[in-house]
Amino acid sequence: MNLFLKKGLEIKVNLINYYRAHSKIAFNCAAYLLGKDTMYDSQYNNCRNWINGDTKEYEKIILNQNFINNIEKMLLESFPDKSHKVIIFSVSHYLIGLVSFYGAEFPITTLLSKNFEPNNIHDGIICDWKNQKEYLYSVYLRKLAEEEEEDF
């Protein structure tokens, strides 16, 4: 019998590091979409400090899961099965990163900035690892809309 099965498998997860890794992924996606130089702006200092180990920023950076509205949940459900998603979007002057692995129902949301200008982004990256395809979020939504039009 397998030693792990016989004795039981214990996995310890440091949630702070788990959230920090998600924040780093969201930050890197924002850098990809907005430009690397943009992310050096001081408006991203709190998030950058959190990623680099400042634990006091945790409460200000990781957003309550109730923040994700029904529209975001609906959109997340329309993606390829068990796909990875990193969505960067703005609400008012907030820039938010949403990271979901393997189609997780409760993605991790990170506050990237409280002073985002211009406040009109809604894009990201989708990794459909089962079919070995990657999409920009905006392109994928356009593709879904076109397929919907064909059905009418």
**pLDDT one-digit tens code per residue, 115-143:** 898 768 889 999 999 999 999 988 988 88
φ and ψ at residue 133, rounded to 5 degrees: -130, 150
Is 4 inside any structural domain?
Answer: no
Query: Which range (8-17, 78-87, 103-112) has the least confidence?
Result: 8-17
- State residue 143's pLDDT score: 84
Structure tokens, 117: 């200008």
CA distances from 72 to 6, 12, 34 (A): 42, 30, 21
Q: Establish if 64 belongs to a structural domain.
A: yes
Across 91-102, average pLDDT: 88
The reply to whether 3 falls in a domain is no
For 30, the domain range is: 13-151
Domain presence at residue 109: yes
Average pLDDT over residues 15-40: 92
Number of domains in the chain: 1
Does 80 have pLDDT greater than 90?
no
pLDDT value for 7: 61
Non-local (6+) Cβ contacts of 151 within 8 A are none
- CB atoms under 10 Å from CB of 3, counted, come to 7
Q: Would you call 97 helix, strand, or coil by DSSP?
A: strand
Is 115 among the domain residues?
Answer: yes
pTM: 0.78
